[in-house]
Amino acid sequence: MIKKIAFVGQPTKDLEGAKKFYEKVLGLELDADYGELWSEYQTADGTTIALDTISPTKSPSHATYLALETDDIDQEVARIRESGAQVLQDVWENRDGEGRCICKMAIVLDPDGNPIMLHEIAAWRAKP
């Protein structure tokens, strides 16, 4: 089941340059940092913006994308595949520097070919 918007993803090939822009120009504070892969910023209303070096390798689009949180990504991908919709990238895990799974993701396409990321946060990272 889709629960909420997990985050808005902003693909980047230059994470350090993007971080400087989001911090120094936009004035956002770094909320989470996963090395050279991913950095997160939260707006005042609680929306997360993810700077992402991963999706450019998983999707043909380098445009901003919507990520939807699900409580069971494997079941959700199977349901979407059954519907006939295209699953562009099957489920994969992102791991931190200590090897812990931080989340699972998959990319599906809407009828216009826009990528939508499905996201399941690791239980140890979930906020109550």
- Here the CATH number for the domain that contains residue 17 is 3.10.180.10
Q: So what's the pLDDT on residue 61?
A: 61
pLDDT in tens, 6-17: 888 888 888 898
Residues in CB range of 107: below 8 A, 6 or more apart: 55, 58, 59, 87, 88, 89, 115, 116, 117, 118
pTM value is: 0.68
Q: So what's the pLDDT on residue 2?
A: 84
Mean residue pLDDT of the chain comes to 86
Domain that includes residue 10, residue range = 2-125
pLDDT in tens, 3-42: 888 888 888 888 898 899 888 977 889 998 988 888 999 8
For residues 92-114, average pLDDT: 87
Say how many domains are in the chain.
1
